[in-house]
Amino acid sequence: MVELRPFKGIQYEKEKVEEMNKIITQPYDKISDKMQRKYYQKSDHNYCKLILPKEENRYEIAAQRLNRWMEKNVLQKENDPGIYVYYQDYEVLGERYTRKGFVSAVKLHPFNEDVVLPHEETHKGPKIDRLKMLRATEKNLEAGFMLYSDEEKATIDIFDEVSEKDPLYEATDDLGVHSRVWKIEDEDKIKKVQEALKDEQVVIADGHHRYETAVNYRDEMREKNPDYEEREAFNWRMTYMVPVEDPGLNVLPGHRLLLKEKVEQEHIEEIKRYFEVSELEDGEEETFLKNNDDTSSYILYDDERTLGLRLEDKDGIEKFLSDDYSEDYKNLDVVVLRDAIFEGIMGLQELHIDEDISYERWSEDSIKKVDGGEAKVAFLVNATKPEEVLNVAKNGERMPQKSTDFYPKINSGFMMMDIQAGETL
């Protein structure tokens, strides 16, 4: 079902730029004003100047800058197509990992075709911004991020073979994540990767807005070019693909902070009907969550107590959950928390982000927000598992907001893909 093709990457010419550490960036939507200023100071050719220019006419500036850099051979399109193995070595919560994946052109399918599946809702604003950037540059400046299943490890075995050689590019970003990139031009290896995914559905991990934008841009281009061919590049999207079986694939939790509402004693008594509730000492939060990840479990932290909640009466909370939910969806910790505790027990039917609820990646930051009075209560959660994301998406369901935080993000700047009219794959 999934079609992959090699493409001619547009990449920095090493002799023309400083070390890649000064070139690469975080994805555009993760770049704060402070980070933007820092990136601008790092290099005249920092990638931020293409994906998120600080100038007011950002789209025109990005296109002009891109064309100028290509004319001066700062950026060059490769002569031969390929797919790119992309490893990221990183540390999180004291453990070292290597996430292994590859970048290729993936054929675009609207979500209703059930080939490429979303796992969360999207919003209009970011799609308008990225569509303007696509129109101006006619390039995929940043890769999407998708998950696929490879139980036989056919693709991973190929990646490990390729990665025995020196990388084409490598760099360490400002978060300490070390990236390594290799190119595969061997047709037999590429065909094996294509074969491994051809009967699969794939799920967007990060980049829902950019994917929908790419589909909209494709439709615009088809309307302008009614005699288009399927092999024209605007029908495809540069995408980073990672198997859910990869032990280096990490999802971080999205801890929930209630900004206005307190947990009253009556709520605790009701929670005790379904959850085993235990009092915890400071510093026991992470251990409790880790030891109780076989069922929906949470830490409730406020200015009065630290409680561990472990779901015991799974049948009892069914009354809070919709009959339309699949079993996979019912088993999501974030769904049980939202439907059973927030909506069912506490009566919080509609929580607006940044007004009633906020989200934190790290438990210590969540606790600090409560201690500092920025939030009334924190609910610490276990991370959603990659296979849960895949299963729920294949059921046609979308997760609650901030259910996943894939870490690390993909660095921008190692390659881009030309999608102008007439470019073929």
Domain borders along the chain are: 4-250+407-418, 253-382
Instruction: List C-alpha distances in Å: 375 to 45, 55, 285.
Output: 41, 36, 18
Cβ distance 329 to 255 under 8 Å?
no
- Four-point Cα dihedral 71, 33, 410, 89, nearest 10: 110
Token pair for residue 4? 């992959």
Whose CA is closest to 409, among 133, 176, 85? 176
- Which residue carries 């109780």 as its tokens? 292
Residue pLDDT, tens place only, 81-134: 999 999 999 999 889 999 999 999 999 999 999 999 998 876 665 678 899 999
Average pLDDT over residues 373-382: 97
Average pLDDT over residues 296-314: 96
Q: What is the pTM of this model?
A: 0.91
Residue pLDDT, tens place only, 133-152: 999 999 999 999 999 999 99
- d(CA 372, CA 40) in angstroms, rounded, equals 34
Residue 162 has pLDDT above 70, yes or no: yes
The conformation of residue 228, written as its DSSP 8-state character, comes to -
pLDDT reported for residue 259: 97
Residue 353 bridge partners (DSSP): 357
Instruction: List C-alpha distances in Å: 318 to 110, 295, 326, 340.
Output: 33, 14, 12, 9
Token pair for residue 300? 């409730």
For residue 408, cis peptide bond before it (omega within 30 degrees of 0): yes
* CATH level 3 topology of 253-382: 3.30.1760
Cβ distance 369 to 375 under 8 Å?
yes
Alpha helices in 326-407 (DSSP H): 327-330, 333-336, 363-371, 386-394
pLDDT reported for residue 18: 82
- Of all helices (H) and strands (E), which one includes residue 70? helix 58-71
Residue pLDDT, tens place only, 173-224: 999 999 999 999 999 999 999 999 998 899 999 988 899 999 999 999 999 9
pLDDT reported for residue 208: 87
